[in-house]
Structure 1
Amino acid sequence: MVVIPARAGSSRLPRKPLRLIAGRSLLHRTIAMARTAIGARPDVDLVVATDDDEIAAHAQAAGCHAVMTDSAIATGSGRALAAARAQATQPRFIVNLQGDSPFQPEGALGAVIEALGAGAQVATPVIGLDWAALDALRDHKQRSPFSGTTCARGADGRALWFSKTIIPAIRDEDRLRAASPISPVWRHVGLYGYAYDALTRFEAALPTALENLEGLEQLRLLELGIDIMTVPVDPPVFDSSGIDTEADIQRVEALIAAHGDPTPALS
């Protein structure tokens, strides 16, 4: 089950799911991207979880089922779990596809679904950074140190840690640069899929001290002893994090004008 949390309240961008980006709403863009990723999988349902009648109607206008959830739910993961609990049959897994992030890397959602189907308790995408991308991230963090998350992962793909700092530290970097065009740094993509029981445990647990220090809720999963499988994906057509402000909309519209629109048509 793929859930798109789409609440009405947003202090920086009111009624965000309904806002237009290059003539198409944020919610309809996310639905279109999700449908393409789900493809012909008959066992994966797509649901919008909202607290607003107009947003629900907007989802239904795109042919997507909508579930009304309590406006007091503060997080996307909590809203996704509430939508799952509202189903007649408990889903095996739940993917929390943030409604304000329609420009995910191609293949990211499909890769998370595949990992969950193969038995992962939690799955999330990562992008291997080449040296130019790592240099750009380092430069960006000089201005915005808490923007962008990196991941240290084991040889089997399990996440060992996530951080707002760039991990791992790199000794003998000149030698590594000469040896390979790809750095050892992985950037995390904020898309999560959970086995039902893993999401239930996560939501029932209080935030941890390390989670609060880094501002990364996935650290709670690691501290609970729940494995997170990372799935490598290619970089997106253009790099855009969540849409949170008017400036974000303007930036993405400029990227669309320059590079074309990556969002598929609604089917």
Structure 2
Amino acid sequence: MSLLVVIPARAASSRLPRKPLRLIAGRTLLHRTIAMARAAIGTRADVALTVASDDDAIADHARAAGCDAVMTDSAIATGSGRALAAAQAQSSPPRFVVNLQGDSPFQPEGALGAVIAALQGGAPVATPVISLDWPALDALREHKTRSPFSGTTCARAPDGHALWFSKTIIPAIRNEDKLRETDPRSPVWRHVGLYGYALDALERFEACPPTVLENLEGLEQLRLLELGIPVMTVAVDPPRFDSSGIDTEADISRVEALIAVYGDPTPPL
């Protein structure tokens, strides 16, 4: 095994307690994420999948779907920390670790493969982003009137390296009306909750305490930037569904409404 995909699934959540076990159109959030990960991994023999949890019921729920599960310390506060603990629990350490956030089951189809390719190409950290057209940007703005901390945007350099991430919509757009007339795409990139790390980059990240800006935004990837660890963003096509995470009851209702209209994109387990 050269790469380990970890789905962190902790029980505590201030906005949506026991989130991994919450039902979305009859299927739990965790089972949806496992199914999505399996479909993305396919038959690759060099990739393993595990759920990292601090809760026996959640771990058992993962195993009921035929997925390996690792118990991790409840004191671990971040998904990346839980991913590292899962990697360290393996009989031999993987070269790369992917933190596939358990609250984002509707990932773009090519996101996991794009992150793996970036890691194998030498990126110490890689994560996907989606270019928003103007209707998608308008929808994100409207969504944030109801769930202001749901959905993350990214400012990136021309070579793909991340400059910043924020729960607000960045960058601000001066003369937006004129830009809408000349370009079908907005300058806003939406971040997808999937991170790939070279193991040494993840270990360095986890050895450092959270930063002030990380705590203010509630975005652990900001610690990477403040530590000077380059983060490569990879552009991927948007999924059929809005790719923001499931953080609130309103998010569940929104996704269930989309499923009712467009059908369920989650493959079978």
What TM-score, normalized by structure 2, do the two folds share?
Answer: 0.90
| Deviation at residue 137 of structure 1 after TM alignment | 3.0
The residue aligned with 2:80 is: 77
Deviations 1:163-197 (A, max 9, x none): 23332333443443222211222111222111111
Select between 2-11 and 80-89 the one with higher mean Cα deviation: 2-11
Choose which of 116, 120, 126 in structure 2 pairs with 1:117.
120
Residue 241 (structure 1) shift: 2.7
Relative distance call for 1:247 and 1:160 in structure 2 (3 A) is closer
Q: How far 1:263 sits from its partner (Å)?
A: 0.3
> Following the alignment from structure 2 to structure 1, what is the Cα–Cα distance between the partners of residues 205 and 139?
33
Contact 2:150 2:245 in 1 (8 A): no
After superposition, residues 96-111 of structure 1 pair within 5 angstroms as: 96-111=99-114
SS of the aligned residue for 1:136 comes to helix
Which residue of 1 is the match for residue 97 of structure 2?
Answer: 94
Cα 1:200–1:181, aligned 2, differ >3 Å: closer, same or farther? Answer: same
What is the DSSP-based 3-state SS (H/G/I as helix, E as strand, rest coil) of the residue aligned with 1:28? helix
State which of 148, 169, 172 in structure 2 corresponds to 1:169. Answer: 172
| Structure 2 equivalent of residue 2 of structure 1 | 5
SS at match of 1:160: strand
Distance change in 2, residues 1:246/1:174 (3 Å): closer
**1:22–1:253: 8 Å Cα contact kept in structure 2?**
yes
The within-5 A match list for 1:1-267 is 1-141=4-144, 144-266=147-269
User: Any idea what SS the aligned residue of 1:183 has?
Assistant: strand
Contact 1:21 1:249 in 2 (8 A): yes
Counterpart Cα distance in 2 of 1:245 and 1:140: 12
Cα offset for 1:145? 4.5
Residues in 2 aligned to 1:17 and 1:163: alpha-carbon distance in whole angstroms = 24
| CA deviations over 1:74-106 (Å, ceiling 9, x no partner) | 211111110000011111111111112211122
Is the contact made by 1:151 and 1:188 (CA closer than 8 Å) also made in structure 2? yes
The answer to which of 16-25 and 90-99 deviates more is: 16-25
Q: How many residues align?
A: 266
Secondary structure of 1:128 counterpart: strand
Task: Tell me how far 1:240 sits from its aligned partner.
Answer: 4.9
Cα distance, 1:172–1:253 mapped onto 2, change above 3 Å? closer
Query: What is the rounded CA distance, in whole Å, between the counterparts of 1:245 and 1:145 in structure 2?
Result: 11
User: Residue 189 of structure 2: SS of its match in structure 1?
Assistant: strand
Identical-residue share of aligned pairs (%): 82
| CA drift at 1:237 | 1.1
CA distance in 2, matches of 1:134, 1:53: 40
The one-letter amino acid paired with 1:182 is: R
Contact in 1 for aligned 2:169/2:188 (Cα 8 Å) = yes
> Please, which moves more after superposition, 6-15 or 252-261?
6-15
Q: In structure 2, give the amino acid aligned to 1:221.
A: L
* Alpha-carbon distance between aligned partners in 2 of 1:145 and 1:248, rounded to the nearest angstrom: 11
Distance 1:184 1:86, change over 3 A: same
Separation in 2 of the partners of 1:32 and 1:164?
Answer: 27
Distance 1:15 1:144, change over 3 A: closer
How far does the alpha carbon of each residue in 1:232-261 deviate from its partner, in whole angstroms, 9 at most, with x for none? 112221215333344433332222111100
Structure 1 pair 192–175 and aligned structure 2 pair: CA distance change class (3 A): same
> SS of the counterpart of 2:160?
coil
